Amino acid sequence: MVFECPLPIQDHDTITLGHGGGGKLSQKLVEQLFVPALANEYLEELHDGAIFPSDGGQMAMSTDSFVVRPRFFPGGDIGSLAVHGTVNDLAMCGARPRHLSLALILEEGLLLTELRDIIDSIRQACDESEITVITGDTKVVERGSGDGIYINTTGVGALMPEVQLSPRRVRPGDKVIVSGSIGRHGMAIMSVREGLEFESTITSDSAALWPLVEGVLSVSQRRMHVMRDATRGGVASAINEIAQAAKVGVDLHEPAIPVDAPVRAACEILGLDPLYVANEGRFVAFVSPELADEVVDLMRAHPLGQDAAVIGKVVEEHPGVVRMRSGFGGSRVVDMISGEQLPRIC
Amino acid sequence: MVFECPLPIQDHDTITLGHGGGGKLSQKLVEQLFVPALANEYLEELHDGAIFPSDGGQMAMSTDSFVVRPRFFPGGDIGSLAVHGTVNDLAMCGARPRHLSLALILEEGLLLTELRDIIDSIRQACDESEITVITGDTKVVERGSGDGIYINTTGVGALMPEVQLSPRRVRPGDKVIVSGSIGRHGMAIMSVREGLEFESTITSDSAALWPLVEGVLSVSQRRMHVMRDATRGGVASAINEIAQAAKVGVDLHEPAIPVDAPVRAACEILGLDPLYVANEGRFVAFVSPELADEVVDLMRAHPLGQDAAVIGKVVEEHPGVVRMRSGFGGSRVVDMISGEQLPRIC
């Protein structure tokens, strides 16, 4: 028996914040409890969205709840985040987002003006993504049983027929691309929460990725093997998940990873590794090597992908393990985070 | 300006429990805030589910969050309720439930054994409804920021092509049918919450209605005009919503409304009107008059519809108003409830 810290799930155990962190504990909860209990072919894909056949093609469905604290932060709020998060999960399936459901859990005492601002922000984010909220639900809980507002959005979208995205399609030699500079969302939240002031305000990267993804997929088609947005657990967790599912190794090149100077500085002050910090408008893409430069150029031509870069490659060695090679020739394992680095980041 | 108690939504106001009660305050929140802000043709239908075109037919989508307290009650728990609630909303659209998303907001400290029991209950309810959970999400909030577990389920289903359900199709003369005895879910919850003991335990009516609905729709087809499940706000609110949307009057016949003796007794003790008490396995149906008896017989032959009855009819008089005629010839208006009769009932 291997001991871990925090301790793994056991029958007499309770839920910890780490179970919601997008790292190993989250993974265990899903793999040991949810998937066996609810077993079906869709869930076993362990993706953020599910693809199901529809009469005239394939559709994708994805759900996410948002509990971010504070509710308003530089570059966004819980409303825009709730739209972006689900739209992006659909985009990562290769699906054009179409319809959204919106379910609110409100705490007694929430200001109606604040609710109005959040709904306005949802509308604006929907307009930008050309998606509509077609159905909704509101529940209210007593003061002290919630935290202002929790939002669930669930989206459905139509799969682009010419793409097929799955970790199973990843091959040694594939290039790993990140769509922009990392860690901005997490550090924007932390700056507000901790009252940190830097020379320039760090704004969240929260954005709807579909317009960027659509352009990339139109060009790459089946040579794009898999994509994943780097939310909770950051780029490190997204790449680890794919390496494990694809049973391949990944070598990352540290100097190639784009991190803005203010984010790097804030991470150093707080002792955080930007690789594990949440993003809400960044994704990693595993693509056939011959296409990598073209995809990066395409991304850089888009406002959401200006800092896109090839940051590593898929290797046959060390399957399931992600290694980081530093600028000085050293190498270390980039493990999946165990618990929770930044609670309630989304 | 008309004053109401509780006060209506104003800019300087805050969210109250009544905004989640399924009555007038909920309706105002939706009509004054959500619909204008998120305006689109789907939301304006003001139904619990939305219908959207898909490549080979029409699909329905519905979302619901569940915050019921206590989490386990006679006849069900928050897990089975979360499946039934969404499956029933799809059924009310005339859609065969197909896929479900499951999003959990867990409070730090929730027992994993309890979570396991709830997931098992979800699985069982899914099996009974022949629906699968195809995607999910888990968030964890700090102790004191939640209440054990909140569940969101969102479902998609395929519309039965031969039906067309809308308040717009309701006509004077239509019969109003209720599918079974009312008020059991609400009173089961209240009995546990208030520690009341009756001669027999009141069990919730929580159930997946699709098998019953499918049978009824196969026979009635286009002569079924609209259906609505009588959840928050009870049968009174469901019928009021339809009367308002259809701009027709409804006359109900009090002695015809099926209420089990223990529910009636509990309601009397607590000073509640069973017409406003929540159900989770009952619906009202507005059907062409010549078909009413056949539909009632069909319902009664099903375990979920044993006490089905015609309880009223649609009239040209008093459009938008529901009137109740007692056994003694008297008559009163059955208004929509204003705020919240039983908070956190689902």
Q: How many domains does chain B have?
A: 2
The answer to whether residues A280 and A64 touch, using CB atoms and an 8 Å cutoff, is no
By residue range, what is the domain housing residue B242?
167-333
The answer to whether residue A310 neighbours chain B at the CB level (below 8 Å) is no
Residue B224, domain member (yes or no) = yes
Whether A15 has a pLDDT exceeding 70, the answer reads yes
The answer to whether residue B35 neighbours chain A at the CB level (below 8 Å) is no
Based on the fold, state whether residues B86 and B180 are members of the same structural domain: no
The answer to whether residues B192 and B264 touch, using CB atoms and an 8 Å cutoff, is no
Q: What is the mean pLDDT of residues B210-233?
A: 95
Position B5 scores a pLDDT of: 52
Percent of chain B predicted with pLDDT > 90: 75
CA distance B297 to A19: 50
For residue A156, list chain B residues with Cβ-Cβ distance below 8 A. Answer: 59, 61, 156
Based on the fold, state whether residues A199 and A63 are members of the same structural domain: no
Give the helix/strand (H/E) hosting B340.
none
Position A31 scores a pLDDT of: 87
**What one-character-per-residue DSSP string does B47-67 give?**
-SEEEEEETTEEEEEEEEEE-
SS3 B120: helix
Say which residue, B177 or A338, is predicted with more confidence. Answer: B177
**Numbers of helices and strands, H then E, in chain B:** 9, 14
**Tokens 């959990």 appear where?**
B104
Based on the fold, state whether residues A276 and A136 are members of the same structural domain: no
Q: Do A65 and B112 touch (CB under 8 A)?
A: no
Based on the fold, state whether residues A56 and A179 are members of the same structural domain: no
Q: Given A104, A112, A145, which is nearest B147 (Cβ)?
A: A145
For residue A64, list chain B residues with Cβ-Cβ distance below 8 A. Answer: 103, 137
Q: What is the pLDDT of residues B126-164, one digit of tens each?
A: 999 889 999 999 999 999 999 999 999 999 999 999 899
Residue A192, domain member (yes or no) = yes
CA distance B82 to B206: 10
Residue B3, domain member (yes or no) = no
Give the helix/strand (H/E) hosting A66.
strand A57-66
Based on the fold, state whether residues A307 and A199 are members of the same structural domain: yes
The answer to whether residues A54 and B146 touch, using CB atoms and an 8 Å cutoff, is no
Backbone angles phi, psi at B73, to 5 degrees: -145, 165
- Residue where a domain stops, chosen among A124, A159, A194: A159
Q: What is the mean pLDDT of residues A288-315?
A: 97
CA distance B195 to B76: 17
Based on the fold, state whether residues A228 and A306 are members of the same structural domain: yes
B281 Cβ partners below 8 Å, 6+ apart? B84, B88, B180, B185, B204, B205, B206, B207, B208, B209, B304
Based on the fold, state whether residues A272 and A154 are members of the same structural domain: no
Q: Given A13, A123, A142, which is nearest B17 (Cβ)?
A: A142
Q: Could you tell me the pLDDT band of residue B327, with boundaries at 50, 70 and 90? A: confident
CA distance B250 to A248: 66
d(CA A301, nearest CA chain B) in Å: 32
Based on the fold, state whether residues A146 and A178 are members of the same structural domain: no
- Residue where a domain stops, chosen among B159, B188, B219: B159
CA distance B157 to B101: 12
Position B1 scores a pLDDT of: 43
Whether A3 has a pLDDT exceeding 60, the answer reads no
The answer to whether residues A114 and B120 touch, using CB atoms and an 8 Å cutoff, is no
Q: What is the pLDDT of residues A261-276, one digit of tens each?
A: 999 999 998 899 999 9
Residue A11, domain member (yes or no) = no
Among A29, A137, A156, A231, the residue to mutate for chain B (most B Cβ within 10 A): A137
Q: Do B38 and A140 touch (CB under 8 A)?
A: no
The answer to whether residue A102 neighbours chain B at the CB level (below 8 Å) is yes
**One-letter amino acid identity for B105?**
I
- Please enumerate, as own/partner, the contacts of A32-39 that have beta carbons within 8 Å and a separation of 24 or more: A33/A9, A33/B112, A33/B115, A33/B116, A33/B119, A34/B102, A34/B119, A34/B136, A34/B138, A37/B116, A37/B119, A37/B120, A37/B122, A37/B123, A38/B102, A38/B119, A38/B122, A38/B123, A38/B126, A38/B132, A38/B133, A38/B136
CA distance B174 to A292: 64
b/e map B62-73, b = 16+ CB within 10 Å: bbbbbbbbebeb
Two tokens, residue A120: 């306005």
Q: What is the largest CA-CA distance in chain B?
A: 57
CA distance A80 to B251: 45
For residue B13, list chain A residues with Cβ-Cβ distance below 8 A. Answer: 112
Q: What is the pLDDT of residues B55-101, one digit of tens each?
A: 778 899 999 999 999 999 999 999 999 999 999 999 999 999 999 99
> Distance from first CA to last CA of chain A, Å, rounded?
34
Whether A44 has a pLDDT exceeding 80, the answer reads no
For β-strands B224-229 and B283-287, DSSP reports them as antiparallel
Residue A273, domain member (yes or no) = yes
Residue A59, domain member (yes or no) = yes
Whether A117 has a pLDDT exceeding 90, the answer reads yes
CA distance B31 to A57: 35
Based on the fold, state whether residues B312 and B183 are members of the same structural domain: yes
Q: Given B15, B105, B133, which is nearest A109 (Cβ)?
A: B15
Of A39-48, A112-121, A123-132, the poorest mean pLDDT is in A39-48
Q: What is the pLDDT of residues A242-255, one digit of tens each?
A: 999 999 999 999 99
Position A1 scores a pLDDT of: 44
Based on the fold, state whether residues B149 and B209 are members of the same structural domain: no
For residue A99, list chain B residues with Cβ-Cβ distance below 8 A. Answer: 42, 50, 52, 61
Q: What is the 3-state secondary structure (H, E, C) of A155-188?
A: EEEEECCCCCCCHHHCCCCCEEEECCCCCHHHHH
Angle between helices B78-92 and B112-129 (to 10 degrees): 30
Residue A216, domain member (yes or no) = yes
| DSSP state for residue B112 in the 8-state scheme | H
Q: Do A135 and B48 touch (CB under 8 A)?
A: yes
Whether A313 has a pLDDT exceeding 60, the answer reads yes
**One-letter amino acid identity for A223?**
R
Q: Bridge-partner residues for A280, per DSSP? A: none
Two tokens, residue A119: 């709904």
- Residue where a domain stops, chosen among A159, A181, A212: A159
CA distance A141 to A143: 7
d(CA A128, nearest CA chain B) in Å: 13
SS3 B309: strand
DSSP E strands in A256-341: the ranges are 283-287, 309-315, 322-325, 331-333
For residue B104, list chain A residues with Cβ-Cβ distance below 8 A. Answer: 65
Q: Could you tell me the pLDDT band of residue B341, with boundaries at 50, 70 and 90? A: confident
Please choose, from the candidates A52, A108, A150, the residue with its C-alpha nearest in 3D space to the C-alpha of residue B18.
A108
Q: What is the pLDDT of residues B272-325, one digit of tens each?
A: 999 999 999 999 999 999 999 999 999 999 999 999 999 999 999 999 999 999
Based on the fold, state whether residues A204 and A303 are members of the same structural domain: yes
Here the CATH number for the domain that contains residue A76 is: 3.30.1330.10
Based on the fold, state whether residues B118 and B172 are members of the same structural domain: no
Interface of B with A in 37-66 (CB under 8 A): 37-38, 40, 42-43, 47-50, 52, 54-57, 59, 61-66
d(CA A303, nearest CA chain B) in Å: 26
For residue B138, list chain A residues with Cβ-Cβ distance below 8 A. Answer: 19-20, 26, 29-30, 34
b/e map A180-202, b = 16+ CB within 10 Å: bbbbbbbbbbbbbeeeeeeeeeb
pTM: 0.93
Q: Could you tell me the pLDDT band of residue A11, with boundaries at 50, 70 and 90? A: very low
Q: Do B119 and A65 touch (CB under 8 A)?
A: no
Q: pLDDT averaged over chain A?
A: 91
Position A24 scores a pLDDT of: 85
The answer to whether residue A306 neighbours chain B at the CB level (below 8 Å) is no
Here the CATH number for the domain that contains residue B245 is: 3.90.650.10
Residue B46, domain member (yes or no) = no
